Amino acid sequence: MAGRVAVIGIDIVDVARFRGLLARRPSVLERLFTPAERAYAEARADPAERLAARFAAKEAIMKALGAGFGEVAFRDMEVVRPPGGKPGVRLSGRAAVLARRAGVVGWHLSLSHSDTAAVAVALAVVPGDAGGATAGETRGAPR
């Protein structure tokens, strides 16, 4: 039966450690986040929590793409959030190339954070046989 299958990535970030990184190296903001992501976070009560959640999302997206650390620029993955809407994914550069090669036709993204932890689950939707994946099979981007 032809349908769609999902490739899942998940990541969790310690908010205190992430806040410490931002305090020690403020320049990391420009390397990790787009201007829109920074503006969204800075307009909220605790920007570090929101940024930690977006960092977790980018790590989860890389995992769903089957990309290794450093293989994709963090700014090539953007967490977008329309007013009143759920978070989404916008890819560019190498991340978009990997997604295209993997046949990704859509994304689902879930973010959550507290004062101690931020977590993200990224689900890449790809065409395929819904019953075709076997235990241990990885459906990531070809390298």
pLDDT digits (tens, 9 = 90+) for 100-121: 999 999 999 999 999 999 999 9
Average pLDDT, the chain: 88
Q: 85: pLDDT confidence band, cut at 50, 70 and 90?
A: confident
pLDDT digits (tens, 9 = 90+) for 50-61: 999 999 999 999
Range 130-134 average pLDDT:
41
Is residue 143's pLDDT more than 50? Answer: no
Of 74, 73, 79, 89, which Cα lies nearest the Cα of 36? 79
**Whole-number Å distance between alpha carbons of 39 and 31:** 14
Query: Which structural domains are found in the chain, ordered by start?
Result: 2-129 (3.90.470.20)
